[in-house]
Amino acid sequence: MLTETIDHVTLIKLAEAGVVCSAHVVGQEGGWGVLVKYGMTERALAAQRSQQVRIFRRLETLVNYLKGVGIPRFDVDAVNFDSSIGTTRKRPDRATAMKDANEAVAYQKWLKAEIQEAIDDTSPTVPHNEAMRQIRAAIKTA
């Protein structure tokens, strides 16, 4: 079943307009979700990046969020809440991102060192015009 969601910006606009009828905090495995009712429509709050239902791990964080948005009153349903599940936050995508970032920093350090080595190199160089003259001469004799 696909759950329709509402994003943070829309929720703020609805709360400012005073059209939010109710907010229902629902406990589930590993955290708390929010269902927001406005008019005849009820939608779950979505996470900003994934657009999937946002799960708050701590009830206090959710309370502060709703109060900050302008929804100080809401009801809580803790029937399906299970704090023992999902207490460790796993983000393999972040681990990959951090590895990539560290590799990028290492590459930048290496590249800067290579460039500085080339700048500091005091070995004799051949001017462009002389190199081109030598190449043309080699082509004529070939």
CATH of the domain at 43: 3.30.720
Q: What is the rounded average pLDDT of the residues 8-13?
A: 93
Angle between helices 59-69 and 8-17 (to 10 degrees): 50
Nearest alpha carbon to residue 3 among 27, 30, 35: 35
Range of the domain at 70: 5-77
Does residue 126 sit within a domain? yes
Radius of gyration of the chain (CA): 30
Looking at the structure, tell me whether residues 70 and 102 fall in a common domain.
Answer: no
Q: Are 82 and 29 in contact (CB under 8 A)?
A: yes
Looking at the structure, tell me whether residues 69 and 15 fall in a common domain.
Answer: yes
pLDDT digit string (tens) for 116-142?
998 899 888 889 999 999 999 999 987
Does residue 84 sit within a domain? no
Nearest alpha carbon to residue 25 among 16, 17, 34: 34
Looking at the structure, tell me whether residues 72 and 119 fall in a common domain.
Answer: no
pTM exceeding 0.75: no
Looking at the structure, tell me whether residues 70 and 123 fall in a common domain.
Answer: no
pLDDT digit string (tens) for 41-63?
999 999 888 878 899 999 999 99
